[in-house]
Amino acid sequence: MSPCDFCSSSGARWLYVPQDRATVALMTDNGVVNPIPNDGRWRACDLCSDLVDTDDMENLVARCLIGARIAGAPVPEGGPLLEHMAMVVMANFATVLAGRPTKERL
Ligand SMILES: [Zn+2]
């Protein structure tokens, strides 16, 4: 099964396809903005899909950071570095959602 693009867990079942592709971009940790690959299509598992659909950005970001930590990424437990990572993740998700994505079954 495909991995979820939000939390990195396997088992993505939904695909978000942006309608406004020009507005979709990704920001790296260094603040560099790049166009998102795959035309900004994001795969989501059931849980992340629920968070996206209810606009629960706070829990979506928390889930993404926990997923990254489980996957072996150096995610700090707290402090300014974690806040910075959360901000970058939130900016990326907000940018994706600004593309008014439609939701499809994978
Ligand atoms: Zn997920």
**pLDDT in the model for residue 11:** 92
Looking at per-residue confidence, does 73 or 36 come out higher? 73
Distance 97 CA to ligand 1 centre (A): 15
Distance 6 CA to ligand 1 centre (A): 5
Domain residue limits, the chain: 14-105
Distance 56 CA to ligand 1 centre (A): 13
**pLDDT in the model for residue 104:** 95
Distance 3 CA to ligand 1 centre (A): 8
pLDDT band at 60 (very low <50, low <70, confident <90, very high): very high
Distance 85 CA to ligand 1 centre (A): 17
**pLDDT in the model for residue 36:** 59
Q: Is 10 exposed, middle or buried (0-12, 13-18, 19+ CB in 10 A)?
A: exposed
Say whether pLDDT at 32 is over 80: no
Read off the pLDDT of each residue in 48-65 and give the average, rounded to a whole number: 94
Rounded CA-CA distance 79/50 in Å is 28
Mean pLDDT of the chain: 85
Say whether pLDDT at 37 is over 60: no
